[in-house]
């Protein structure tokens, strides 16, 4: 610390000398006339008249005004000497006569008067003042960029703040142990993750139990999982359970425009952590600074690499007996540097997966605690309708339901509000400004009923729960909702083929009834193509290729992009196989709709009239025997 103060003082002296030299240069180059000043001597009015009578005056500046004055020089005096006399009131005409009688030059300007003195002072000190103000402004901007939310006019870091005071501060948000306010009771749907982290909590609370047997606290815990699964929340819960301070910072806050500042922030972060130990240090989105380094010897971003190297050094340097645990979160674990993942740094990897049916219900219960509701509220039905939803999605669903209750003028949220909020999160709000023509409305009705009839014809398919042709802000003109009754973790080949047929049901209905295609099936085609390609390249469900992996999944927790790992000729055969699978599914959907063409017309007209129908209404009409239906009165064989 003393060395830092000495360095700051030395920098301040250096910058003051630079400013003084700059002032001298400006003074000589820009204002050379100001460096020669005349000496002014005050004389009486009578003395000035005598000098005029004796013809001694060479130059005179006669200034008339409230306090009339005259400045003049003598012929035989030095150029640096001038005389000033105050003209007696009422003597102006007499003085003018004396000047006319002499050969003095009254047009010469003597550059020295009272207003010139103030101008000289202003111009002299203006560069220094501007230099200080510019340095102070730049210091504030740099501190804000480096995470200092309350920069002050502090010149301790150098002249005008140019010494970099505060630029190496980590900017981490520190939450005291008593203010964390989150425990494991506030985390649901991640029971396995909580079990893995309870050991860390127990070590922070009772380190002597582990030290007695020679066990060491894990230096780092890496939380991996899709966005919204509660990685930040569970890190706070660890600090809350252990009753220790919580440091929180994002990986992007380390990498700045100034070279070396990222490494300085890492040093400052761990310095603060050591002072507050035991504590939890949470680094969100660590992949920002922890990406794999370039093996070619030159990095694309030297600043990021320096920051990563400093992080590795700090994690090796601190004593884990002090109770410092680094918790990091990422949804791109495959991009992290191997040196960051080795034992001794991030010793424990905790997956944070999307919650299952039980987990979703538990999460909904937590978020529903602060919402006033009107019983009964069936959270199981809401959880069943949201497969693949993260904790953040479920929190948004509860909040959207409460907002809908307020919009409807109610003081309590109902089951209907939360069911509608599920659709809002999935498909967006109802788009009331979109008005379909009668023909378009008919096309959408047949399209959605086509999906529903094909889905209802599957033995193992998920039941239809809702069909609507009300446009949504997501761009959908309608949709058919299917909800699995039970959580499924495995899918058979037949179930995949059934799902492909359901995707093709909308386009098949358009072709069967109208004899033409529309763009309404664009999303169905995209989903069907993706599923068919995965079926062949990942699931090994193709007779031609069998159990052969033809692609690898990248960004498993984000987009799950699949890249082919086969020869170009094989890739062409894969495309042909995908096309054949989808064509077979489309033909199957057409066959189902031909067999149920009467029901297709009946249900489409019913949907056209009501715009939204429930799954129960759909199945009632689907199972009802109509006397006008072809073959209805034929005897059963």
Cα–Cα distances in Å, from 166 out to 144, 163, 171, 292? Answer: 9, 9, 10, 30
Is pTM beyond 0.85? Reply is: no
Give pLDDT tens digits for 109-158. Answer: 444 445 555 666 666 677 777 777 777 777 666 655 554 555 544 444 44
pLDDT of residue 159: 41
pLDDT surpasses 70 at 395: yes
Dihedral, 516, 522, 526, 528 alpha carbons, nearest 10: -40
**Half-sphere exposure at residue 348, Cβ-oriented, CA atoms within 13 angstroms:** 19
Least confident of 12-26, 53-67, 144-158, 468-482: 144-158
pLDDT of residue 364: 93
Cα torsion 402, 406, 411, 412: sign: negative
Neighbours of 174 (CB within 10 A): 15
- 59: its two tokens: 């130059």
Residue 376, preceding peptide bond in cis (omega within 30° of 0):
yes
Helix, strand, coil % in the chain, rounded to nearest 5: 50, 15, 35
Catalytic residue selected from 305, 400, 448, 510: 448
Residue 151's nearest CA partner among 166, 169, 163 is: 166
d(CA 149, CA 146): 9
- Catalytic-residue membership of 448: yes
Give pLDDT tens digits for 596-608. Answer: 999 999 999 999 9
Q: What mean pLDDT comes out for the span 177-193?
A: 83
Detail the residues annotated as belonging to a binding site. Answer: 225-232, 447, 451, 524
For residue 285, the Cα-to-chain-centroid distance in whole angstroms is 11
What long-range pairs does 438-441 form, CB within 8 A, spacing at least 24? Answer: 440/477, 441/469, 441/608
User: pLDDT: is 419 or 263 the higher one?
Assistant: 419
Cα–Cα distances in Å, from 321 out to 216, 219, 324, 551? Answer: 7, 10, 8, 45
d(CA 240, CA 60): 86
Cα–Cα distances in Å, from 385 out to 265, 398, 619? Answer: 45, 13, 18
């Amino acid at each position: 610390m003393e060395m830092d103060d000495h360095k700051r003082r030395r920098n301040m002296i250096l910058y003051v000398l630079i400013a003084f030299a700059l002032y001298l240069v400006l003074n000589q180059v820009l204002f050379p006339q100001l460096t020669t000043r005349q000496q002014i001597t005050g004389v009486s009015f009578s003395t000035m008249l005598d000098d005029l009578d004796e013809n001694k005056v060479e130059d005179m500046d006669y200034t008339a005004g409230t306090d009339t004055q005259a400045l003049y020089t003598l012929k035989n005096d030095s150029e640096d000497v001038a005389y000033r006399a105050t003209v007696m009131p009422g003597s102006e005409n007499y003085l003018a006569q004396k000047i006319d009688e002499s050969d003095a030059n009254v047009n010469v300007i003597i550059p020295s008067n009272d207003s010139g003195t103030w101008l000289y002072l202003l111009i002299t000190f203006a560069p220094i003042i501007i230099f200080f103000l510019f340095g102070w402004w730049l210091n504030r901007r740099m501190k804000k960029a480096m995470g200092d939310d309350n920069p002050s006019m502090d010149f301790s870091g150098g002249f005008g703040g140019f010494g970099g005071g505060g630029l190496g501060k980590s900017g981490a948000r520190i939450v005291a142990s008593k203010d964390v306010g989150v425990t494991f009771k506030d985390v649901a749907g991640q029971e396995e993750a909580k079990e893995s982290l309870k050991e860390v909590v127990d070590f922070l609370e009772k380190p002597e139990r582990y030290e007695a047997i020679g066990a060491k606290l894990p230096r780092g815990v890496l939380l991996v999982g899709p966005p919204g699964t509660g990685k930040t929340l569970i890190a706070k819960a660890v600090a809350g359970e252990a009753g220790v301070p919580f440091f929180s910072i994002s990986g992007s806050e380390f990498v700045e425009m100034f070279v070396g500042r990222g490494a300085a922030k890492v040093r400052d972060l761990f310095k603060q952590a050591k002072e507050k130990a035991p504590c939890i240090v949470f680094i969100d989105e660590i992949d920002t600074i922890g990406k794999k380094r370039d093996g070619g010897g030159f990095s694309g971003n030297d600043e990021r690499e320096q920051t990563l190297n400093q992080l590795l050094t700090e994690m090796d340097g601190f004593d884990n007996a002090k109770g410092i645990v680094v918790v990091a979160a990422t949804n791109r674990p495959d991009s992290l540097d191997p040196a960051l993942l080795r034992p001794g740094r991030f010793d424990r990897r905790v997956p944070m997966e999307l919650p299952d049916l039980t987990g979703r219900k538990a999460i909904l219960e937590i978020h529903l605690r602060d919402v006033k509701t009107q019983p009964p509220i069936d959270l199981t039905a809401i959880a069943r309708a949201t497969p693949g939803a993260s904790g953040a999605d479920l929190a948004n669903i509860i909040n959207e339901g409460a907002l809908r209750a307020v919009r409807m003028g109610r003081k309590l949220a109902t089951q209907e509000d939360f069911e509608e909020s599920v659709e809002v999160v999935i498909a967006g709000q109802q788009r009331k400004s979109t008005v379909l023509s009668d023909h378009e409305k008919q096309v959408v009705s047949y399209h959605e009923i086509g999906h529903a009839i094909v889905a209802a014809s599957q033995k193992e398919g998920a039941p239809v729960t809702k069909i609507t042709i009300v446009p949504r802000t997501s761009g959908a003109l309608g949709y058919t909702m299917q909800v699995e009754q039970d959580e499924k973790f495995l899918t058979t080949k037949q179930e995949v083929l059934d799902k492909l047929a359901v995707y093709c049901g909308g386009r098949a209905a358009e072709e069967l009834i109208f004899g033409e295609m529309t763009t309404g099936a664009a999303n169905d085609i995209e989903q069907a193509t993706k599923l068919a390609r995965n079926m062949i390249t990942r699931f090994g469900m193709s007779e031609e290729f069998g159990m052969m992996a033809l692609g690898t999944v990248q960004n498993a927790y984000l987009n799950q992009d699949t890249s082919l790992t086969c020869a170009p000729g094989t890739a062409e055969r894969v495309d042909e196989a995908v096309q054949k699978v989808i064509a077979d599914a489309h033909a199957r959907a057409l066959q189902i709709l031909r067999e149920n063409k009467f029901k297709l017309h009946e249900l489409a007209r019913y949907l056209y009239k009501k715009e939204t129908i429930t799954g129960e209404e759909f199945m009632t009409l689907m199972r009802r025997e109509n006397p006008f239906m072809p073959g209805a009165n034929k005897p059963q064989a």
